[in-house]
């Protein structure tokens, strides 16, 4: 499970043959179906839920489910702050049922990948992805400029300056004086990656520099670069570089040892 003040994401598994009678939740939900088709009914109707799709359920919406085969989903609980952000952007929240936008499935898949990271960069990213899901049917009216806007450059600098801290999307929005949705979308458009991905790149680059010096332990480098612990550090480093940090450090030392000294 991964949670912030605005949203929480949890992986769920349902056994084949399970029937869940009509019920409701006090909070609004988004549900991404990872695997296993099933059926869901709500007050406006119902239908099949296919893997790779995202559904929305408002708070208090009566619904029921039937799982003919084993099913895995991501349950995204929406707290009032993120719903208010969506409304501030001029969007009417989706009706109960499947999100019709073509981008919804891809965003749900990204959410699934971020949950597996389970670090503070992922916590930052899930808020941005969730906002985009809530606004998939809304034209944000933003036009891309040829040059990177100064406020967006400032956001990128903040990631470098505060890469070891736990940043929230609202922190970046406050500093840039832009809506969180605008920051999330424009960052990806101009820099070709999400904010969370970029933050991990910054941290791994800093770790590579420290590893090359050979002055600190793995645990010390992990904390110095903003990772929660050595395990998170090793996982993120391997995903980005293809090798664990210890092997990276050993390879650098071996290269230096074999390099002839210059006169």
More confident of the two residues 74 and 160: 74
Residue 21: which CATH number?
A: 2.60.120.10
Q: Residue 236 domain-assigned?
A: yes
Q: Residue 263 domain-assigned?
A: no
Is 127 found in the same domain as 22?
A: yes
H/E stretch holding 181? helix 180-191
Q: Residue 120 domain-assigned?
A: yes
DSSP 2-59: EE-SSEEEEEEEE-TTEEEEEE--SSEEEEEEEE--EEEEETTEEEEE-TT-EEEE-T
Is 87 found in the same domain as 67?
A: yes
Which residue in the block uniquely carries the two structure tokens 């791994």? Answer: 204
Is 203 found in the same domain as 183?
A: no
Is 205 found in the same domain as 188?
A: no
Is 123 found in the same domain as 13?
A: yes
**What is residue 29's predicted lDDT score, i.e. its pLDDT?**
94
- Tens-place pLDDT, residues 49-98: 999 999 999 999 888 888 889 999 999 999 998 988 888 876 667 778 88
**What is residue 51's predicted lDDT score, i.e. its pLDDT?**
96
**What is residue 140's predicted lDDT score, i.e. its pLDDT?**
38
- Spatial distance between the Cα atoms of 44 and 105, rounded to a whole number of angstroms: 22
115: Cβ–Cβ under 8 A, 6 or more apart, which residues? 2, 9, 11, 74, 122, 126
Lowest mean pLDDT among 4-13, 81-90, 228-237: 81-90
Q: How many CA atoms lie within 13 A of 34 on its CB side?
A: 17
Q: Residue 139 domain-assigned?
A: no
Residue 234: which CATH number?
A: 1.10.10.60
H/E stretch holding 64? strand 63-67
Q: How many domains does the chain have?
A: 3
Is 221 found in the same domain as 188?
A: no
Which pair of structure tokens corresponds to residue 92? Answer: 């009417």
CB 104 within 8 A of CB 133: yes
Average pLDDT over residues 135-156: 67
Is 125 found in the same domain as 154?
A: no
Q: Residue 40 domain-assigned?
A: yes
Is 219 found in the same domain as 103?
A: no
- Tens-place pLDDT, residues 177-190: 988 888 988 888 88
Q: Residue 252 domain-assigned?
A: yes
- Spatial distance between the Cα atoms of 49 and 57, rounded to a whole number of angstroms: 13
- Spatial distance between the Cα atoms of 152 and 191, rounded to a whole number of angstroms: 10
More confident of the two residues 153 and 252: 153
Mean pLDDT over each residue of the chain, to the nearest integer:
84
DSSP 67-92: ESS-EEEEEEEEPHHHHHHHHHTTPP
191: Cβ–Cβ under 8 A, 6 or more apart, which residues? 156, 198
Is 231 found in the same domain as 160?
A: no
More confident of the two residues 222 and 253: 222
**What is residue 259's predicted lDDT score, i.e. its pLDDT?**
56
Q: Is the pLDDT of residue 158 over 70?
A: yes
Lowest mean pLDDT among 70-84, 142-156, 225-239: 142-156
Is 226 found in the same domain as 166?
A: no
- Residue 35 belongs to what domain range? 2-134
Is 58 found in the same domain as 126?
A: yes
Is 116 found in the same domain as 22?
A: yes
3-state DSSP assignment of residue 177: coil
CB 73 within 8 A of CB 35: no
């Amino acid at each position: 499970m991964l949670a912030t003040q605005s949203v929480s994401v949890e992986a769920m598994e349902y056994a084949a043959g399970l029937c869940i009678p009509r019920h409701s939740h006090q909070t609004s939900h988004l549900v991404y179906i990872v695997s296993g088709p099933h059926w869901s009914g709500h007050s406006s109707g119902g239908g099949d839920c296919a893997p790779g799709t995202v559904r929305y359920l408002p708070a208090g919406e009566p619904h029921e489910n039937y799982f003919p085969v084993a099913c895995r989903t991501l349950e995204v609980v929406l707290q009032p702050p993120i719903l208010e952000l969506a409304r501030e952007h001029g969007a009417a929240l989706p009706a109960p049922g499947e999100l019709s936008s073509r981008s919804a499935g891809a965003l749900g898949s990204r959410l699934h990948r971020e949950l597996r990271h389970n670090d503070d960069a992922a916590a930052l990213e899930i808020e941005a992805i969730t906002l985009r899901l809530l606004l998939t049917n809304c034209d944000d009216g933003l036009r891309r400029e040829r040059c990177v806007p100064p406020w967006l450059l400032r956001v990128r600098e903040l990631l470098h300056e505060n890469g070891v801290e736990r940043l929230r999307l609202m922190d970046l929005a406050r500093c840039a004086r832009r809506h969180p949705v605008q920051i999330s979308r424009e960052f990806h458009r101009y820099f070709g990656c999400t904010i969370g991905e970029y933050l991990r790149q910054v941290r791994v680059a800093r770790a590579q520099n420290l590893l090359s010096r050979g002055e600190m332990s793995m645990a010390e480098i992990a904390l110095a670069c903003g990772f929660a612990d050595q395990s998170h550090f090793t996982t993120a480093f391997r995903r980005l570089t293809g090798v664990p940090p210890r092997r990276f450090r050993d390879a650098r030392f071996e290269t230096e040892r074999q390099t002839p000294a210059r006169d």
